[in-house]
Amino acid sequence: MLAINRRALMTGTAAVGAYTILSRNYVFAQEEGPFKLPLLGYAFDKNEAAIDARTMEIHHGAHHRSFVNNLNAAAKANAEAFKMPIQEMLAKLANLPEGIRTVVRNSGGGHANHSMFWQIMGGEGGAPSGDIAAAINAAFGDFAKLQEQFNARGGGVFGSGWVFVTSDKEGKLALETRAGQDNPLMYGRMPIFGNDVWEHAYYLRYQNRRADYLKSWWSVVNWDVINQRYADAKAGKFTV
């Protein structure tokens, strides 16, 4: 039954895009266009130590996909404006045509934030290594102090938003929180890593216990990817 449905759906959605996920009772169609939902790069249960597989699946397949679909719909109607890479659009939000600013801010920010989020998880957590470790010590004292401040700031976000460790071009790190799907690129800094504190990111396992989610999240961060993002930021090669 499942296989038949899947085949029918794959065929039936050819007009709106070849990419579909059939998962339990959920089917998510993807619009065609320049924006793609990035693959996770690991199984849905890879972050089980902090985030359950079901949350990962819905968060990636439905929440993130809706940002991608919104961007593709906007790009269809404003092809010229969307020729700019997304990191540039976010950095130059105020200069974009007024008619697309909101979709770029919300869905472009959401696409960038979540693309980062999947990349920087799927790891083993533990203590940071490499250049990022030294930069954390320089900016925050030590890793334990960063975690304490990061968790406090993330816990303090009212409603939906994010907590980030950001870098400037010189590699100086700072903590920042943003409401909604705002991305640090909109404020002149590069997000090296960060945590999603919207309820959809943690509600199934943690309900209202955001502090517990923030605490356990560190066990799945991927320091190799974070080091690569940090190196790209310093080398002027940062994307999203």
- Residues near Mn ion (CB under 5 A) are 196, 198
Q: 205-213 long-range contacts, Cβ below 8 Å, gap at least 24?
A: 205/51, 205/52, 205/55, 210/154, 210/155, 211/151, 211/155, 213/50, 213/51
The residue (of 192 and 196) whose beta carbon lies closer to Mn ion is 196
The helix/strand/coil state of 54 is helix
Shortest reach from residue 72's CB to Mn ion, in Å: 19
The residue (of 118 and 198) whose beta carbon lies closer to Mn ion is 198
Query: Which residue's Cβ has the minimum distance to Mn ion?
Result: 196
**In sequence order, which ranges of 42-193 are alpha helices (DSSP H)?**
53-58, 65-77, 86-91, 98-103, 109-119, 130-140, 143-155
The residue (of 82 and 198) whose beta carbon lies closer to Mn ion is 198
The residue (of 109 and 123) whose beta carbon lies closer to Mn ion is 109
Shortest reach from residue 114's CB to Mn ion, in Å: 6
Shortest reach from residue 216's CB to Mn ion, in Å: 17
Shortest reach from residue 138's CB to Mn ion, in Å: 30
